Structure formats: C-alpha cells, structure tokens
C-alpha cells in the first residue's frame, strides 16, 4: 500500500492492528450550547429600544409641556441675563431634544454603561455651551429640554438595568471582561440564553502558548526589563488571538490559553480547530517578528511553543463573586498544556493532538511527530506538527514533508535503513530541522535496542 493510501486508510499514522475504536468519533453531530440568531437578536434590541424610548419621550413631553423643565433652569437664564433676548424656536429645541433622548437610549443599549454616561455628560455640557454661545447673538437657547432629554434617557436606562434583561451586560462583563472580541461579546448581550453558565459540554479547541526560557530570562534580565519583555509578548499574542475569534481564558506571566469554539460557535466555513490552527501558524510569524524587536532591545529572544488540542470540554462560570469568570476545564484542556511543554523535546513550534489534526487537515499542512500509548492500555494518540496554511508550502518543503512522513512510517515498521534514507532525503540544506534530528537520533537508538520512552514522553503518554 502506498504512503498516501495508508494515510487515507487510517487517518492517523497508526500501525496495523491498532484498535481504532478507541479514538473519539469525529463524525458525530456537534453539540453547540448556543446558536446564533441574528434576526431574532436584532428584533429583540429594537423591541427593547421602543419599550424604553416611548415612555422616556412621554415623560420628556410632560416635563417640557408643563414648563417643569424650564422652571428648573430659570436660574440659568438669570445667570446669563437673557430675560430680554429673543428665544430660539421652541419647536426646534423640542425636536432636537426628542432626537437626543432616542439617540442616547440607542447608544446606551449598544455600548457600555460608562461610555454612554460619558456621552450624556458631554451632551449636557454641549447644551449649556450652545446656550452660552447663543447669547453672543442676543438669542436665548433654553437648554432645559435638552438636559431633560438626557435625564429621562438616563432614568430609562437605570430602570432597564434593574430588570433581569437589563442586568445581562453587567453580568457578562464580570465574567468575560475584555477577553472576547467586541462583536462576539455584543452577541452574548443580545442573545436569549441565561448568563449563569452552570456548565455545558462544548466541542472546542484549546491553544496554549508558553515561553520555555522564562527562567533563563528572569536570571539575566532585571525585573523591569523581564516584565516589559513578557508584557510585550502577552499583549502581542493575546490581542491577536482575541482579534481572530478566540476567547482569552488564561494569561499568566509566561503563558496564555485561548479557546476557540466557546462561548459561541465560530461563524463561517472554518471550524474551531481550523481557526485555532491557522491562528497558531500566524502567531508564530508574529512572535518571530517580535523576537527581532526583543533582540534589538534586550539582546534576548523568546523561546515560545504552542500546543493545540480539540475535543469535548466543560465550559462554565467558575468561582464566586470575587473571582468568578467564564472558563473551560477537562482532560482535553490539560493535554493542550502538555503538548505545549512537549514541543521543545520534539523540536516543534506547534504540536497538535489527533482531533485537531483531523478537523483542521483541510486548512493546514502538517506532519506526524509521535505516536503515544499509555502503559497498560491500547489507546494510541498521534501527535502532529502544523507547518503552514494549506497549499502554502514551497515545492521543496512539500517534498521534505512527504519524505519525513514516509520516514516516520518506515521507522514504525522498524525498517531502519530505509527510514534513515527517507529522513536524510527530507533534509533541506541550510535549514535547521530539530524534529528531523530528533527522529534520526531515535532511529540510531532503536537500532541499538535503546528506544525506550524518554521521561518527557512517559509524562505525555500518561496524560493521554
């Protein structure tokens, strides 16, 4: 059977006789906790807008029509000595006031409370400023209707925030902060699902990016330089991954974890694993650029490694009032961290589990790295290195990848001489390939009967 026929027949590079039923099924229908309903959400926010705006405008009409608003600001007219000035058109002022109230309520529903209150304060000062400027032309612009419009809008918002529907945004803001792309967060606010997040099983992909040489950097850099370097990395990586649709789950001094597929399923043709894989490949390029800047500023570089793993994980609001946030948990999540740690051993930048490879295989180029088996079980898990977006390898690199893949098959079939020839053929002159060096060393050890799992491989196999 040819190389590509074996790959197609077995999906992962699993030797003959392996119990493939131990692998998670990739053909089962996905279970998404939330479904996007854009038309329904748009109707809901329009309905909310009308329910708030109509009473606010009625209250504004009452305040202006009865003269209550004008009497409340008679001191302003006296302050400007505008008693003899020609008044501006009351109809025009009232029309602007109605538009101001409706516009502010719409803005408040579509933005954060702090932002909308800032706009309200600015509008109030502009109203008073416009009234002051009008006196230069012997006109009196009564700011009372404009200020009343702002106050009624704020009152409507406060009443709305006290309701269950209005409390959604503050509750979601506490759980998610700024760890989601703004448009994704807005869909959460405008959706109908409960915000308690007691726990749901999601099909998703966890991406972990870790700095492996952070201890060395800490020893040679001063505290301020070390923190500046780590923060530069964390900002670059987290901002990019959130911008491409990930949820920033964890961010520590030297590591970040971003999840694709939660809290909402991805939109478009790419599934969560394909999005994560493409993001990881692009992140490598961005961090290589960042390393040039680090080299220029501190004469040091970041040794970053990325682990990807896909499958079922529990997503929920973990913690209490002080430290509560939305997060994910489960063996799939933990294994992504193990993969990130194992990258250095295999000489990879991106190491992915089998489900991530299967789901992303039409979007990225990859090659096999290792086949793990936990002691005492028949379960085997293939690890892959992601190399480039689909069809983006040069002809030489594509040939190298195929020869490497062939060498891995021959190695597992214990055909040592043929494996060495395939791996040697995979070498591209002038380009370092630590994964290739790793396999050549394994072949030599295996020929001597010394190919026992390393401590790192044993730890990784136990995590399978």
Residue 219 — very low, low, confident or very high, per pLDDT cuts 50/70/90?
A: very high
Residue 11 — very low, low, confident or very high, per pLDDT cuts 50/70/90?
A: very low
* Interval 153-171 mean pLDDT: 77
* The pLDDT of residue 448: 84
* The pLDDT of residue 463: 58
CA distance linking residue 319 with residue 438, whole number of Å: 43
| Angle of CA points 390, 392, 394, to nearest 5° | 135
Most confident of 86-90, 290-294, 458-462: 290-294
* The pLDDT of residue 376: 63
pLDDT over 70 (residue 15)? no
* The pLDDT of residue 91: 86
* The pLDDT of residue 464: 58
* Interval 75-85 mean pLDDT: 82
**Which residues neighbour 3 within 8 Å (Cβ) at sequence distance 6 or greater?**
402, 405, 406, 409
The 3-state DSSP class for residue 87 equals strand
* The pLDDT of residue 453: 65
SS3 content of the chain, % helix, strand, coil (to 5): 55, 15, 30
DSSP 80: T
Greater confidence, 248 or 450?
Answer: 248
* The pLDDT of residue 455: 57
* Interval 6-16 mean pLDDT: 38
* Interval 370-389 mean pLDDT: 83
* Lowest mean pLDDT segment, chosen from 70-79, 327-336, 359-368, 392-401: 70-79
Residue 452 — very low, low, confident or very high, per pLDDT cuts 50/70/90?
A: low
pLDDT over 80 (residue 4)? no
pLDDT over 60 (residue 39)? no
* The pLDDT of residue 36: 38
Check the CA dihedral 410-413-414-417 and report its sign.
negative
* The pLDDT of residue 225: 95
* Interval 176-199 mean pLDDT: 82
**Residue-wise over 418-435: b if at least 16 C-beta within 10 A, else e?**
ebbebbeebbeeeeebeb
Strand 304-318 vs strand 325-329: parallel, antiparallel, or unpaired? antiparallel
Which phi and psi angles does 127 have, rounded to 5°?
-65, -45
Greater confidence, 288 or 105?
Answer: 288
CA distance linking residue 190 with residue 338, whole number of Å: 37
- Taking only the tens place, the pLDDT of each residue in 86-134 is 888 878 888 988 998 888 888 887 777 778 888 889 989 998 899 889 8
In the chain, what percentage of residues exceed pLDDT 70?
Answer: 85
pTM for the full model? 0.70
* The pLDDT of residue 364: 95
- Taking only the tens place, the pLDDT of each residue in 386-398 is 999 999 999 999 9
pLDDT over 60 (residue 17)? no
- Please name which of 350, 212, 341, 334 lies closest in space to residue 282, comparing C-alpha atoms: 350
* The pLDDT of residue 215: 92
* The pLDDT of residue 461: 59
* Lowest mean pLDDT segment, chosen from 134-138, 171-175, 334-338: 171-175
pLDDT over 60 (residue 7)? no
* Interval 16-25 mean pLDDT: 34
* Interval 213-237 mean pLDDT: 94
* Lowest mean pLDDT segment, chosen from 203-207, 274-278, 352-356, 368-372: 368-372
Which phi and psi angles does 366 have, rounded to 5°?
-145, 170
Greater confidence, 292 or 268?
Answer: 292
DSSP 299: S
Average pLDDT along the chain: 83
DSSP 221: S
């Amino acid at each position: 059977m040819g190389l590509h026929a074996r790959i197609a027949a077995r999906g992962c590079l699993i030797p003959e006789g392996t119990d493939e039923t131990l692998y998670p099924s990739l053909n089962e229908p996905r279970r998404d906790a939330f479904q996007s309903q854009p038309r329904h959400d748009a109707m809901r926010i329009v309905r909310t807008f009308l329910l708030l705006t109509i009473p606010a405008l009625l209250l504004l009409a009452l305040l202006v029509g009865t003269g209550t608003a004008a009497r409340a600001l008679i001191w302003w007219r006296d302050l400007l000595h505008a008693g003899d000035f020609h008044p501006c058109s009351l109809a025009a002022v009232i029309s602007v006031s109605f538009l101001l109230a409706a516009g502010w309520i719409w803005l408040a529903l579509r933005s954060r409370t702090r932002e909308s209150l800032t706009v309200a304060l600015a509008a109030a000062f502009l109203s008073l400023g416009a009234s002051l400027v009008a006196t230069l032309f012997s006109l009196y612009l009564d700011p009372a209707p404009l200020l009343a419009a702002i106050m009624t809008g704020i009152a409507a918002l406060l009443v709305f925030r006290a309701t269950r529907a209005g409390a959604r945004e503050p509750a979601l803001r506490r759980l998610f902060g700024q760890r989601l792309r703004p448009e994704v967060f807005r869909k959460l606010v405008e959706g109908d699902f409960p915000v308690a997040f007691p726990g749901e099983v999601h099909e998703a992909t966890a991406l972990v990016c870790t700095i492996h040489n952070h201890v060395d950097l800490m020893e040679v850099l001063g505290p301020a330089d070390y923190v500046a370097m780590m923060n530069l990395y964390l900002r670059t990586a987290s901002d990019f991954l959130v911008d491409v649709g990930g949820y920033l789950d964890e961010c520590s001094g030297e590591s970040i974890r971003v999840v694709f597929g939660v809290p909402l399923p991805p939109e478009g043709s790419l599934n969560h694993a394909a999005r994560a894989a493409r993001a990881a490949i692009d992140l490598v390029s961005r961090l290589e650029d960042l390393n040039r800047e680090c080299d220029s500023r501190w004469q040091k570089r970041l040794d970053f490694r990325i682990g990807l793993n896909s499958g079922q994980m529990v997503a929920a609001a973990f913690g209490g009032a002080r430290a509560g946030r939305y997060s994910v948990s489960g063996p799939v999540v933990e294994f992504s961290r193990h993969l990130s740690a194992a990258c250095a051993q295999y000489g990879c930048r991106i190491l992915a589990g089998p489900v991530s490879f299967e789901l992303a295989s039409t979007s990225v180029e990859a090659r096999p790295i290792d086949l793990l088996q936990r002691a005492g079980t028949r379960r085997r898990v293939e690890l892959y290195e992601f190399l480039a977006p689909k069809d983006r390898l040069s002809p030489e690199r594509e040939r190298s990848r195929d020869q490497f893949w062939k060498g891995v098959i021959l190695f597992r079939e214990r055909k040592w001489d043929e494996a060495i020839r395939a791996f040697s053929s995979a070498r591209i002159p002038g380009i370092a390939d630590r994964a290739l060096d790793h396999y050549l060393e394994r072949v030599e050890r295996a020929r001597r009967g010394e190919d026992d799992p390393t401590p790192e491989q044993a730890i990784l196999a136990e995590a399978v």
